[in-house]
Amino acid sequence: MLEVKDITKRYGPLVAVSDVSFRVDRGETIGLLGPNGAGKTTTVSIIAGLLSADSGEVLIEGNQVKSDTDPVKLKIGLVPQDMALYDQLTARDNLTFFAALYSLAGAKAKHAIDDVLNLVALSDRANHKVGTFSGGMKRRLNLAAALLHDPQILLLDEPTVGVDPQSRNAIFENLETLKKRGKTLIYTTHYMEEAERLCDRIVIIDHGKVIANDTLQALHQLLPVTNIIAVELDLVDGFKPEQMLALPGVKSAELKQNTLRVGVHDLSREAPGVLRWLAENGHCFHHVSSEQPDLETVFLTLTGRSLRDS
């Protein structure tokens, strides 16, 4: 559906993206994950035809965007990171305008507008000025405006920036609906939980380069541990967690306050041995749970830096 091949973009001495490559199949959702300034927006801008790459190419169903008016652009819908709406106009006037940019008018435009307003649950606010909308409503309308011409590929550049959890959830539900409709989504974010919830595959970008490109499960395999056993101990006096590294299958062990975290690869095989060792050595515990490392840990493992601190 979409193939990004070795694209590079420089701004003077600064290399914004360097030899970035990935492909997205029809109906797939991929997350472009990386810290601010990693090159995500530049990559999306090149795919949308807003920027030309210094080298490399972007193919949409095998075709390059060759000019401003190339019909290939009809296959793409862009949801910019900044709100792209006219506050002074009503929601319907905004959508009528954006529909017209794709030559939609009359009944076709009305049908498309009603459809997208329904999808983002803003039908009842269609005739209200956008300036009166909450941040979350504007974000939903921002998404709706990109769907009017029914594009196959949707480029979403951090579409949940600055919205409350409830609105973010509403946007996720909209995107999940679009996934079910078979749309191809490319979603840039620096929120791990968003990528984990939505994406089939994750492309991690750092300093303009792709440093990982795989499914969530496969990325977890890159980690030294894939599961963590969290044990809340009754007494921790004299307890030395490094003693546990001698146990078979235990890759890490750390104690914070009274919670012991033990990293293992195979939970079902290693957990009984860990708990037995604790009991046999007189370390009573009152709560046991298991956790999976998140993408933050993946990023930390791959770059040596925390994603949010980058």
Partner 1 sequence: MIPFLALVRKDLLLFFGDRKAVVVGILVPIVLASFFGYLFGGQKGSAEMSKVPLLVVDQDGSDISRGLIAQLAGDKNLDVKPATLDDARESVRKGKATATIVIPKDFGKDAGRALFTAASKPQLDILYDPSHNVELGMVKGILAGAVMQTVSKEMFTGSGGREMVDESLAHVEADSQLPADVRKPLRDLLSSVKELNERQDERRTSGASGQAEVSGGLTMPYETHEEAITSGQNVEYNGYAHAFAGMGVQFILFMGLDVGIALLTLRQTGLWQRLRAAPLSRTMLLGSRTVSASLMAGFILAVLFTFARVVFGVRILGSFAGFVGVCAAFSLMTAAFGLMVAALGETPEATRGYSIMATLFMVMLGGAWVPTFIFPAWLQKLTVVIPTRWAMDGLDAMTWRGLGFSSALTPIVVLLFFALLFGGVAVTRFRWSVEG
Q: Where does this chain bind partner 1 (CB under 8 A)?
A: 9, 11, 16-17, 39, 41-46, 48-52, 68-71, 73-74, 76-78, 80-86, 88-89, 93, 96-98, 100-105, 142, 145-146
* Residue among 85 and 264 whose Cβ is closer to partner 1: 85
Tell me how far apart the alpha carbons of residues 80 and 226 are, in angstroms, rounded to a whole number. Answer: 35
Nearest distance from C-beta of residue 230 to partner 1, angstroms: 41
Nearest partner of 286 among 205, 231, 219, judged by Cα: 231
Nearest distance from C-beta of residue 7 to partner 1, angstroms: 11
Nearest distance from C-beta of residue 175 to partner 1, angstroms: 18
Nearest distance from C-beta of residue 153 to partner 1, angstroms: 11
- Which strands form 2-11's sheet, in the order they lie side by side? 14-24, 2-11, 55-60
Which positions ≥6 away from 182 have C-beta within 8 Å?
A: 26, 27
Whole-number Cα distances in Å, 181 to 26, 51, 67, 104, 185: 11, 29, 29, 21, 11
* Residue among 1 and 161 whose Cβ is closer to partner 1: 161
Burial of 93 by CB count in 10 Å (0-12 exposed, 13-18 middle, 19+ buried)? middle
Nearest partner of 223 among 289, 291, 309, 308, judged by Cα: 291
Nearest distance from C-beta of residue 238 to partner 1, angstroms: 55
Nearest distance from C-beta of residue 240 to partner 1, angstroms: 50
* Residue among 127 and 217 whose Cβ is closer to partner 1: 127
* Residue among 4 and 219 whose Cβ is closer to partner 1: 4
* Residue among 149 and 220 whose Cβ is closer to partner 1: 149
* Residue among 87 and 242 whose Cβ is closer to partner 1: 87
Which residue intervals of the chain are DSSP H helices? Answer: 40-48, 91-101, 106-119, 135-145, 165-180, 192-198, 216-221, 267-280, 295-303
Tell me how far apart the alpha carbons of residues 290 and 232 are, in angstroms, rounded to a whole number. Answer: 12
